[in-house]
Amino acid sequence: MMVIVFMFFFVIFVVNAQAATITVDTTADDDTSNGNCTLREAIIAANSDTAVDNCAAGSGQDTIQLPAGTYTLSIVGVNEDAAATGDLDITDDLILTGVETASTIIDGDGIDRVFQVIGTITVDISGVTIKNGYEGSSVGGGIRNEYATLTLNNITVSNNTAVHGGGIYNTTGGVLTLTNSTIQDNSASTYGGGIDNYGATLTLSNSTITGNNAGSNGGGIYNGVNTGTATLVNATITNNTTDNNSDGSGNGGGIYRSLGIINLKNTIIAGNIDTGGEAPDCGGTINSQDFNLLGDDSGCTFNTQPNDQVGTSSNPIDPLLGPLQDNGGPTLTHALLSGSPAIDAGDNVGSPPADQRGVTRPQDGDGDGSAICDIGAYEVAPITLIGPNGGEVIPSGSIHTIQWEAPPGAVSFKLKYSMDNGRTWKPIASGIPDTFYDWTVPTPVKNKKKCLVKVIGYDDSDKKVGADRSDSTFTIEVVKVTYPNGGELLTSGDQHSITWTTNETKNPVEKVVLKYTKNGGRTWKKITAIEGDNPGAHAWTVPDVSETKSKCKVKVVLKDAAGNTVGSDTSDGSFTIEPGP
C-alpha cells in the first residue's frame, strides 16, 4: 500500500512540474477579467504559476507565444515588481517567443522601461522588437536584467531611453547572451547608449550595435565594475555617438571600458563618433583576441594582435559598410560593400557557423578560391547562380528566367552562355540591374547537352566584384525522341509509332528523316523521309532480325527547305528488337 501511495504522489508531482504554454490572444494591455489573455496577464500567470483571466497557469519554465502585432504598454504605475503596472517584470523562468522582429513589437510608449528581469532565473526572448521604453531617472530603457541568465536571440532593441543603458542594462550577477540581434537608436544620458554591462557578464555574437548615443562614455557599449566582462565575437559596432551633449566629458563612441574586461574577436568597431574628438571608436583598455577591425584607436589602449587591422586618427580605416537595412534575415544589418577590408579577413576558428542573417560561414567573399570568414556580423556571400545550374532541359526558343544571388555591392550584371562546356562564350545581356533575367533561349541546329550560363557582377564604379557559372551542364533541346527512347522490347514485324516533339527551330521544318541502328549507332539505316510536314509520329514496322539485338536506337533529323539540318535527336538509351514468331 505504501508503494502505491508513493507512486500516486510521484505521478502528480511530475504532471504539475510540466511547463505551460501560454498563448497571448490580444494586443491590448490590461489585467482585468474580461476573457482574454494579454501579454501582461501571460507574464503574471507565468510568474505566479496561477491562471490569470484567459491565460493558462504557469508551471516551471513556461513558454509565452506572442503572435504578430504591436503590444503597447498603457497601464501607468511605478514601485512594484509584479508586472501589475508599468514595465513587464519577469520573476520566474520563461521563454517568450514572437513571430519575427518586423511583425511582433512590444512598445513601452514612454510610460516605463519595457522589461525588468529579476532573480536567479533563466529567461529566453526571441523574435520580437522592444522599443520606446523610458527610464528618465533610472536604468535600462528597454531591458533591465539583474541576477538572471537572459538570452536574447533574433531581437531588435530600439529607441529606448534611460540614464544608464538606454537599450539594455545588465547588472549585479546578470548573465546576458545576445545573438543575431540589432541594438539601434537607443539613448543614455550618461553611460551605455546601447548597452551598459555593469558588473555582469555579456556575451555578444553576430549582432549589430548602431545609432546609439550616450551623454558620457560608451555610445554603443559601456563596461564598468571590476567583475564586468564583455566578450564580443563577430559584432559590428558603428555609427554610435558619445558625449552627445558636447560638453567634452564622454569617450568611446563605439565601446568604453571603465573597469572589468572587454574581449574582442572578429569584430568591427569603426565609424563611431565622439563629439569631443578624443576617442571616437573606443575608450579605456580593450583586449584583442585577434582578427578585429578598429577604425581609430585614439583614446584607448588596444593590445593589437597579428591579424588585427587598426587605424589611427590620421589614418583611420573605413570598413566600407552599407546603410542599416534589410539585407535578409530577421534583423537589420550593415552589409560589407565591395572592397571592404573586412571581407575574408576574419578567423574561421571560433566564428559562429552562420552570420546575423543566417548566411553560412565561411564564404569566399573576395572570389580568390578560399572561403574565409569576414570580420563583423555580416558575411559576404559571393555571386551565386541559382539557375540554370545543371541538369535542366530547356526548350529552344523558349523564355527561361536566369536567377542569381549577389552581395549589395554588386549593382550591375552581365550574362553569357556556352554550348560547348565553356570553351567558347556568347553574350546574353549586360547592364542588368536585377538578379534575374528573362532569356530567350537560342535555337541550335541540334540538341546541345553541354550548355552553361555565366553571371558577372560589377559595382557602381564598373569594377568586377565576382562571377559564377552553372555548376554542371544543362541541355537546350530542339527536338526530342519520345518513343522508343530506351528500355523497350520490340518484336520484328510488329508496328509501333515512332514519336517526337519539336520546339522552336532556326528555320521552318520541311522534311523529317527517320533512321534506326541495331549496333549502338555505328551504322544507321533510313526508315523514311517525310516531306513538307512534321507530324510528330510515324507508324514503323519493326525490321526483321535473325537474333536478338539489344543496342537499337532511332534518330529523328529535321531539315529546312534548303536541306540544312535544323534539329536532330536520338533515343536516350538502347531498346531491344527480338525475332518474330
For the stretch 274-311, pLDDT in tens is 998 889 999 999 999 999 999 999 999 999 999 999 99
Task: Tell me the average pLDDT across 203-228.
Answer: 95
Question: How many residues can be counted in the chain?
Answer: 581
pLDDT for residue 250: 82
pLDDT per residue over 381-415, tens digit each? 889 999 999 999 999 999 999 999 888 778 999 99
pLDDT per residue over 408-445, tens digit each? 778 999 999 999 999 999 999 999 999 999 999 999 98
Whether the pLDDT of residue 334 is over 50: the answer is yes
Cell of 514: 527517320
Amino acid identity of residue 536, one-letter, is: G
Whether the pLDDT of residue 560 is over 70: the answer is yes
Q: Hey, what long-range contacts does 278-282 have (CB within 8 A, 24 or more apart)?
A: 278/251, 279/242, 279/251, 279/252, 279/253, 280/253, 280/254, 281/252, 281/253, 281/254, 281/255, 282/252, 282/254, 282/255, 282/256, 282/257
Cell of 5: 501511495
pLDDT for residue 161: 98
Whether the pLDDT of residue 347 is over 70: the answer is yes
DSSP assignment letter at 162: E
> Binning pLDDT at 50, 70 and 90, where does residue 338 land?
confident
- Backbone phi and psi for residue 448, each to the nearest 5 degrees, phi listed first: -115, 115
How would DSSP label each residue in 124-147?
Answer: EEES-EEE--EEEEEE-SSEEEES
Whether the pLDDT of residue 243 is over 90: the answer is no
pLDDT per residue over 65-112, tens digit each? 999 999 999 999 988 999 999 999 999 999 999 999 999 999 999 999
C-alpha R_g of the chain: 34
HSE at residue 469, side-chain half, CA atoms within 13 A, is 15
Please tell me the distance from the alpha carbon of residue 351 to that of residue 309, in angstroms, as a whole number. Answer: 17
Instruction: Please indicate whether residue 294 or residue 364 has the higher confidence score (pLDDT).
Output: 294
Please tell me the distance from the alpha carbon of residue 517 to that of residue 513, in angstroms, as a whole number. Answer: 14
> Binning pLDDT at 50, 70 and 90, where does residue 17 land?
low
Amino acid identity of residue 562, one-letter, is: A
Amino acid identity of residue 305, one-letter, is: Q
Whether the pLDDT of residue 3 is over 70: the answer is no
Whether the pLDDT of residue 506 is over 60: the answer is yes
pLDDT for residue 460: 84
Please tell me the distance from the alpha carbon of residue 502 to that of residue 525, in angstroms, as a whole number. Answer: 22
pLDDT for residue 172: 84
Q: Considering the chain, what percentage of its residues have pLDDT values greater than 70?
A: 96
Give the CATH fold of the 478-578 domain: Immunoglobulin-like (2.60.40)
Q: Which residues contact 428 (CB under 8 A, 6 or more apart)?
A: 402, 415, 416, 417, 437, 439, 453
pLDDT for residue 5: 38
| CATH 2.60.40.10 is held by the domain 384-476 | yes
Where along the chain do its domains lie? 19-76+88-111, 126-380, 384-476, 478-578
Whether the pLDDT of residue 4 is over 70: the answer is no
pLDDT for residue 79: 87
pLDDT per residue over 248-281, tens digit each? 678 999 999 999 999 999 999 999 999 988 899 9
Please tell me the distance from the alpha carbon of residue 90 to that of residue 117, in angstroms, as a whole number. Answer: 5
Only one residue has cell 540538341, namely 447
CA distances from 392 to 414, 450, 455, 478, 558 (A): 21, 11, 17, 14, 23
Q: Which residues contact 135 (CB under 8 A, 6 or more apart)?
A: 112, 113, 141, 144, 161, 162, 163
Only one residue has cell 529546312, namely 560
pLDDT per residue over 55-73, tens digit each? 999 998 999 999 999 999 9
Please tell me the distance from the alpha carbon of residue 167 to that of residue 141, in angstroms, as a whole number. Answer: 5
User: Minimal CA–CA distance to 145: which of 175, 120, 170?
Assistant: 170
> Binning pLDDT at 50, 70 and 90, where does residue 464 land?
confident
- 462 three-class SS: coil
How would DSSP label each residue in 199-231?
Answer: SSEEEEES-EEES-EESSS-SSEEEESTT-EEE
pLDDT per residue over 473-488, tens digit each? 999 999 999 999 999 9
Only one residue has cell 523610458, namely 134
Task: Tell me the average pLDDT across 527-537.
Answer: 94
Whether 313 contacts 296, CB under 8 Å = yes
Q: Is the peptide bond before 427 cis (omega within 30 degrees of 0)?
A: no
Q: Tell me if 384-476 shares its fold with 478-578.
A: yes
Instruction: Please indicate whether residue 226 or residue 527 has the higher confidence score (pLDDT).
Output: 527
Cell of 347: 578567423
Whether the pLDDT of residue 235 is over 80: the answer is yes
Only one residue has cell 559601456, namely 222
Task: Tell me the average pLDDT across 345-351.
Answer: 97
Please tell me the distance from the alpha carbon of residue 465 to that of residue 365, in angstroms, as a whole number. Answer: 9
Longest dimension (CA), the chain: 107
